Amino acid sequence: MNLSVSLTVNGELRTLALDDPRITLLDLLRERLQLTGTKKGCDRGQCGACTVLVDGRRINACLQLVASLDGATVQTIEGVADGDTLHPVQAAFIEHDALQCGFCTPGQIMSTIGLINEGQAGAEPERIREGLSGNLCRCSAYVGIVEAVLDAQATLAGKKTERAA
């Protein structure tokens, strides 16, 4: 049984023939589309390493079947930067040393972008920690991650103010 699915991935429309309706978004991204920035950690939705944005919402790609995403827009870590210009969240992660081994970083960044876009980050570190609680960092870079979220949020708010003026 073949199933055809159309997705917009990082701004590019992709029409894909699926020979197995049980393929997850994570496996499609990594194996078929060669977008390996999205990491396979636990493969059970518990670590957040595979976090991507689907229609602007944060999801664990390891739990999402591609067959249910026909017509969706998917953004991965590869689609965040604007050419050579890093997204403010990426820049803040570097500035605040919010990574060590880097394995969880793509999922942390995607979750942070979603958290900020949802208006759920707030200004309190505890609220940020709660909002990112589904993303684990085995190296314990959490202090830097919270600082990066606060910094990126301020930078993005400043850009919105500049555009409104």
Note the pLDDT tens digit of each residue in 16-60: 999 999 999 999 999 999 999 999 999 999 999 999 999 999 999
Residue 27 structure tokens: 């496996």
Is the whole model's pTM more than 0.85, yes or no? yes
Note the pLDDT tens digit of each residue in 89-147: 999 999 999 999 999 999 999 999 999 999 999 899 999 999 999 999 999 999 999 99
Q: How far is CA 55 from CA 7, 80, 163, in A?
A: 10, 14, 23
